[in-house]
């Protein structure tokens, strides 16, 4: 039973040890922050969604990238379209809430929302992301 308990608690204890190490040394814990990518139909929708994300304090910043071509399968058919891509910088702990919120306001039936953890970066920039997005 002690072995099972140790195995189950390892991720929690490791996380606490990393947070303590980060606090004491000022180092970054990889994966603490994430970049989410969200596809939008046009610039107007992209700006509305970006503004709504910022007003909810779900991100430190949102970049709105220019129109790009997109190919995808939708309901068994190859679709060709254009879309605007949002790059959203946030806490990894906020990705679920961000995704739920965007799905509730996005006009697509199945909006393209994915996230990638940030492994490394400018420590001051990463700290700014953390300072800008409230903790859970």
46 and 11 within one domain: no
* C-alpha separations of 132 from 5, 39, 42, 54, 59 in Å: 36, 23, 27, 10, 7
Local confidence pLDDT in tens for the 136 residues of the chain: 677 776 777 666 666 666 665 666 667 888 999 999 999 999 999 999 999 999 999 999 999 999 999 999 999 999 999 999 999 999 999 999 999 999 999 999 999 999 999 999 998 999 999 999 998 7
116 and 50 within one domain: yes
pTM for the model stands at 0.81
Query: How many domains does the structure of the chain reveal?
Result: 2
What CATH number does residue 64 fall under?
3.30.70.120
**Domain containing 16: what range?**
1-30
58 and 20 within one domain: no
Cα atoms in the Cβ-side hemisphere of radius 13 Å centred on 57: 7
Of the candidates 86, 42, 41, the residue with the CA atom closest to the CA atom of residue 64:
86
5 and 39 within one domain: no
11 and 1 within one domain: yes
> In the numeric block, which tokens belong to residue 49?
């969604």
């Amino acid at each position: 039973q002690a072995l099972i308990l140790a195995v189950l608690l390892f991720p929690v204890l490791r996380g606490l040890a990393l947070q303590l190490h980060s606090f004491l040394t000022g180092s970054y814990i990889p994966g603490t922050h994430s970049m989410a990518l969200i596809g939008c139909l046009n610039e107007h929708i992209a700006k509305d969604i970006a503004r709504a994300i910022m007003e909810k304090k779900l991100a430190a910043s949102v970049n709105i990238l220019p129109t790009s071509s997109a190919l995808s399968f939708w309901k068994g058919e190859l679709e060709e379209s254009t879309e605007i891509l949002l790059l959203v910088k946030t806490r990894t702990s906020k990705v679920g809430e961000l995704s739920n919120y965007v799905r509730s306001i996005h006009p697509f039936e199945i909006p393209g929302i994915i996230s990638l953890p940030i492994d490394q970066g400018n420590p001051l920039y990463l700290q700014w992301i953390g300072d800008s997005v409230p903790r859970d």
